[in-house]
Structures are given as C-alpha cells and as structure tokens.
Amino acid sequence: MKDKIAVIDDHADSLEILHEALSPTYEVETFSDPIDALNKIKSGSYSAIVTDVMMPKLNGFELMKSIIEESPNLPVILVTAFGTLDAAANTIKSGAFDYLSKPLNLNEIRLVVSNAVSHFKMAKKSAKDVSGASKDINISNVVGKSEKMLRVFKLIGRAAPTSSSILIEGESGTGKEVVARSIHTNSPRADKPFIPISVAAIPDQLLEAELFGHEKGAFTGALFARDGLFTEAEGGTLFLDEVGEIPLQLQPKLLRVLQEHEVRRIGSSASKIVDVRIIAATNRNLEQLVREKLFREDLFYRLSVIRIELPPLRERQEDIPLLIAYFLGKYSRQHNKKISGISDELMATLVKFDWPGNVRELENFIDRTIALAAGPVLSASDIELPTTTIRESSWPDYLPTSLSLDEVENKYIQKVLRESNNNYVQAAKTLKINKSTLYRKLGKPQK
C-alpha cells in the first residue's frame, strides 16, 4: 500500500509538476485551497505534506503550524521562491522538515519527499509518546545562517524525534554540547534528564564505575552501592563528550549497552534494562582511530547512526556577526551593562580573526570585553587581539600541525565530499582520482 502525500499549491502548474514527480511512488492528493487541505489533513492519514508558502487565505507557515500542532512528527516540506540562506534557515527553524526552491527540480522533489517519509516512519516507530515534547524545533542557542549551519539545523530537526544514537563531530569549542542539548530539548525525552559527562576528565579506573555504577565493596573505596550515569539518565539522554578517549578495554561494555539496552554494576551479576539515548561527541577522527585499532569499529557504527559535523568558526565567517550580537545581548544582561553595539572597525577585525578556540573562544572574548568596557559601544580600544591569528591564508593553513598526513588527507577528502553534496563521482573528479581509490582512502566498500 502506497504512502499518502498531500500537496498544496494555489498554482495549477506547480500542482501538476509535483503530482507528476510523486505519483509513481506515492498516493498523491492535491489541493489548491489550503483551508480545504488542512481540514482533510486533520482527518486523513498522511506520511508527508508538501505546501507552497505564498498562498491566499492561509500561507505555508500558518498551515505548517496548524499541522504540527495536530501531528508533531508529520514532516512538512515548504515550497519557496526565495533563494537566501536567511529565509531558508528561518524555514527550518520554524519546524519545516525541508524546503524546495522554485523552479522545481523533479529529482530533488523525489529525494526530499523520500527522506521525509522515511523520517516519519522512524519517528512514528520510536516515539511512543510525544505529548510532552516541544511542538516546534527550538534551536535558539544554535546561532548561524551559513549554509553549513543550515545543514546542522536540518539534522537537529530530523534527528530529535528519533531515539537513534548520534555522533557530533567538530573541533573543540564548536558547540557540540549546545547541539546535543538542543536535540534533547526537542525530543520526546525533553522532560527526562540530560546528563553530560566528559570522558577525558575522568581517570580510566573510575570511568567504568561512573558510567555503570558499583556494588558496595566492589573495589577499594566503594563504601556503598551507587547507580551509574546510565541509570540516572533513565528515559532521557546521556551525552558522552570526548568519546574518542574512552579506554579500549571499556568499549565492549559500552557497546553492550547500545546493543542490549542493559547495564551491570561493577561487582554485580545482575543486569538492568535501561532506556537511554546516547549522544556522543568527539574532536578526534574516530575513523582514523578505528584504522589504528584504538577504537572498536562496531562501537563506532553503533554510536554514529546519525552523524552531525559542526564546522569550525573559520569556515562559517558569515556567522560571526550573528554570534557577536547574540553574546552581546547575553553578557550585557549578565554584567548589567547597557552595551548598544560594536564599532564597524572592531567588527571587521573580529570577522577576520582566526578563532582557534571557535565559538567558545569568541564567547569568552565578548564576555571579557563587556566586563571591562568603558562605554556603550565596543571599539578597538577595548580589546587586545594577537595579530598573528588574523586570517590571511587559505583552508590548508588552518589545520593543526599535530595532525598526521593521513588525517590531513582525510579532512580534505571530507571537505570535497561535503562541497559536492556527498556525490562520490563528482568528488573523485575534483580530487583527480578514480572512484575506487576514493572509497579505499575512506576505508569503505565500493558501491
């Protein structure tokens, strides 16, 4: 039986194009009146909605809001005539699953709708009760309008309703915990605990007890029994930061939790079933660690069911003014200072700055500058920035010198893949290698 799709547009030609693209795969119902469509959607059984934005009586955003109020997991795809990233980002932030730009592309239509239907089925299967979850995707703490951050917004919206494990990758300071919290906040687990732990901050000999708990007398110093973080996070989310640092001997036990959904305290012979979503984060190349036999391959794939890559600040330069504005508001209130803005000269300097510590460094800088500022407008006289970190060169010069040659090559391959929308044929042409060589370098079987 075909999945049912509702298509709403007040232009007959657009309805015809969408019907032509989707009807071979789906049962398609078309509507030229959004009010009629909304009434039918509320009483019907649909797997995805495709709607135009600019319509009389009810625009696409209003229609989407009404649909989400009734069915939070039903994916809504907006068809827009805009081409700006600002408007596209607002579309995703408003709760849309995705957007299609006019003129419509048939292949893109089919791909986006296929993704939406798959997402709906997964969310419907994994989310038993979404009554306490947020109706709209709230990513107010994830700031940006660049194309790379728009992809992050999309992934947050798609991943949040599911219970799949998520791996967030990115350099230190890129905001991995902020994204993890946003996913939790927008998930059916939002009213349950979100418990973060930095794996690297806990000595190896204590990490197992911290995660899984222990019985009284299980080891020297275990004066009483205690639950581990997996038990404390029951029903919610456990965020494993710097997961690449987890000791090799402890990885099989973590894998068992992911596979069997059960934990066993140190010193106990009994296991306990737990319902915990795992979000892991790393600033290391886990695939390289797998090749070096420092990280289990099966654990890597269990953790990375959904992968979200956060770009460094130097690769999203257009987001720096937005982040500065966000932090100006936050720390002006915190320091009880009336900071009205920032000079053009200072803004230009900050946009060029390399920010090796990424968003965390920028936030700390704004916090410190506001605390010490003498006037209502931040200017160059309020700051001291090392001139050696002003950006002058191209992408390869930003790479840390601690990386091996293999890691540098891998990062460049991943960059080319992203820029080609994961089109392996196009990426291989750009890299001037054949497709089989590309798969081999990535350690993947050729498709």
Query: What is the rounded distance in angstroms from the CA atom of residue 417 to the CA atom of residue 444?
Result: 14
- Quote the percentage of the chain above a pLDDT of 70: 87
Cis previous bond, 103, omega within 30: yes
Domains and CATH numbers, the chain: 4-126 (3.40.50.2300), 147-309 (3.40.50.300), 313-389 (1.10.8.60), 399-442 (1.10.10.60)
Is the confidence at residue 379, as pLDDT, over 80? yes
Identity of residue 227: D
pLDDT of the residue at 133:
36
Q: What is the pLDDT of residues 248-292, one digit of tens each?
A: 999 999 998 988 888 988 888 888 899 999 999 999 999 999 999
**Where residue 126 falls among pLDDT bands split at 50, 70, 90?**
very low
pLDDT of the residue at 92:
64
Most confident segment among 94-108, 113-127, 227-241: 227-241
pLDDT of the residue at 140:
53
Most confident segment among 67-81, 257-271, 411-425: 257-271
pLDDT of the residue at 238:
96
What average pLDDT is seen over the chain?
A: 82
- Bridge-partner residues for 8, per DSSP? 31, 51
pLDDT of the residue at 259:
85
Q: For the beta carbon of residue 54, count every other beta carbon within 10 angstroms.
A: 13
**Between 96 and 313, whose confidence is greater?**
313
Is the confidence at residue 174, as pLDDT, over 60? yes
Which position has the token pair 């886990």? 286
Is the confidence at residue 89, as pLDDT, over 70? no
Most confident segment among 135-149, 363-377, 415-429: 363-377
Q: In the predicted model, what is the mean pLDDT of residues 83-101?
A: 65
Q: In the predicted model, what is the mean pLDDT of residues 76-82?
A: 80
pLDDT of the residue at 266:
86
Contacts of 135 (CB under 8 A, 6+ apart): 68, 69, 72, 95
Reduced to 3 states (helix: H, G, I; strand: E, B; else coil), residue 99 is: strand
Could you tell me the pTM of the whole model?
A: 0.62
- Quote the percentage of the chain above a pLDDT of 90: 31
Query: What is the rounded distance in angstroms from the CA atom of residue 342 to the CA atom of residue 328?
Result: 9
Is the confidence at residue 396, as pLDDT, over 70? no
